[in-house]
Structure formats: C-alpha cells, structure tokens
Amino acid sequence: MSADRYSQLVNAPVVSALAKQLGLPQPVALDRYRSGAGVVTGAVLSGAAPGGRLAKTLAAFLDSIKAERAGGEGPAKALVFDATGIADSTELVELQRFFYPAVGRLQGSGRAVVLGTPPAQAGS
C-alpha cells in the first residue's frame, strides 16, 4: 500500500480511532511540490567541504529558483552540502561539522542533500 493511501486510510474519520487503538503509526503530512509554488518553501542552508567543486554552481542554482538563504540562525527547509571536496574517509568529518549544528534547524518535511563525486570519478 502506498504511503499516501495508508495516510488516507488511517486518518479517515471512521478508521482513525481504531488505528490509534491498534497502535498503528500515524503518518506525518509531507509538503509536496505544487505547480506555481517555489521549489523550496523556506530557507536553504548550504555549505561545502574545503575544495568543494560545486559551491558556485549551487549558489547559481539557488539564485535561479529564487531560494531564500538561511543565515546563521533560524529555521531551514533544506540543508545542502557540497561534499565534492572530500577525498577520503578522514575528511568525512566535514559532513559532521556542517550537519550536526544544522539538523536541529531543519523544519518538518525538510530535506538534507549531500552533493558528492560519482564513485567512478573519485580517488581511491
């Protein structure tokens, strides 16, 4: 059963009380893209590992979709990290440095995106 059908079923007036008594999980309503609306309905917080190759491209893309940029504080609808500068596992700490303080700012139905190098193009 698809998630949306399940959501409709357990949230139906007749079934919802029974679903709660049975302990069935209550799905969270997710934000969905609507034609004519912005691609992102909130602020975007972006970051990059040292040597990341997509920072300028990402900034241009965010500008092209008129995405609001998240500052040092406040909520964010999306967290986007350019990990193309990560060459080996010792540099994965850069992901932690970005996401650890930021994940608490992520709003409901928010997105966390990591941009990386395709494995075939990565070093050993």
pLDDT along the chain (124 residues), means of 10: 74 83 82 82 95 95 94 93 93 97 94 92 72
Residues 55 and 80 in one domain: yes
Residues 1 and 58 in one domain: no
Residue 97, phi-psi category: left (phi > 0), alpha (psi -120 to 50), beta (remainder): alpha
Residue type, 46: S
Q: Is the dihedral of CA 98, 103, 106, 109 positive or negative?
A: positive
Residues 26 and 76 in one domain: no
Range of the domain at 7: 1-30
Residues 51 and 38 in one domain: yes
pLDDT for residue 8: 83
pLDDT for residue 17: 83
pLDDT for residue 18: 86
Q: Evaluate whether 48 touches 77 at the Cβ level (below 8 Å).
A: no
Residue 93 Cα distances to 20, 49, 83, 101, angstroms:
41, 9, 11, 13
pLDDT for residue 16: 82
